[in-house]
Amino acid sequence: MQKSSIKISEMLVKLFFFSSLLLFTQISVGQNKISVHDPVMIRENDTFYLFSTGWGINVWSSTDMKNWTDEKPVFDNPPKWAVEAVDGFKGHIWAPDISFYKGQYYLFYSVSAFGKNTSCIGLATNKTLNANDPDFKWVDHGKIIQSFPNKTNWNAIDPNLIVDEQGQAFLSFGSFWDGIKLVKLSDDAMSVDDDLTEIPTIASRKEDSRLPNPPAIDNNPVDAGGNAIEAPFIFKKDGYYYLFASIDYCCKGVNSNYKMIVGRSKNVNGPYLDRDNKPMNTGGGTILLTGNKDWYGLGHNATVSFDGTDYLIFHAYDASDNGNPKLLIKEINWDKDQWPTVKL
- Neighbour count for residue 141 (Cβ, 10 Å): 18
- What phi, psi does 12 have (nearest 5°)? -65, -40
Asked if residues 72 and 132 have their Cβ atoms less than 8 Å apart, the reply is: no
Annotated binding-site residue? 158: yes
Tell me the torsion sign for CA atoms 61, 62, 65, 67: negative
Catalytic residue selected from 97, 178, 194, 230:
230
Q: Reading across the β-sheet that carries 139-147, which strands appear in turn?
A: 54-55, 92-101, 104-111, 119-126, 139-147
Annotated binding-site residue? 103: no
Which helix H or strand E contains 325, and what residues bound it?
A: strand 324-331
Annotated binding-site residue? 155: yes
Q: Is 230 a catalytic residue?
A: yes
Q: Which whole-number Å values give the CA distances from 306 to 14, 78, 131, in the listed order?
A: 36, 33, 22
Annotated binding-site residue? 175: yes
Contacts of 129 (CB under 8 A, 6+ apart): 42, 44, 47, 49, 105, 136
- Cα–Cα distance, 51 to 73 (Å, whole number): 9
Catalytic residue selected from 38, 97, 248, 274:
38
Cα–chain-centroid distance for residue 43?
15
Region class of 266: left (phi > 0), else alpha (psi between -120 and 50), else beta? alpha
Annotated binding-site residue? 156: yes
Q: Binding site for substrate, residues?
A: 38, 115, 155-158, 175-177
Q: Could you give the residue numbers annotated as active site?
A: 38, 230
Q: Binding site, residues?
A: 38, 115, 155-158, 175-177
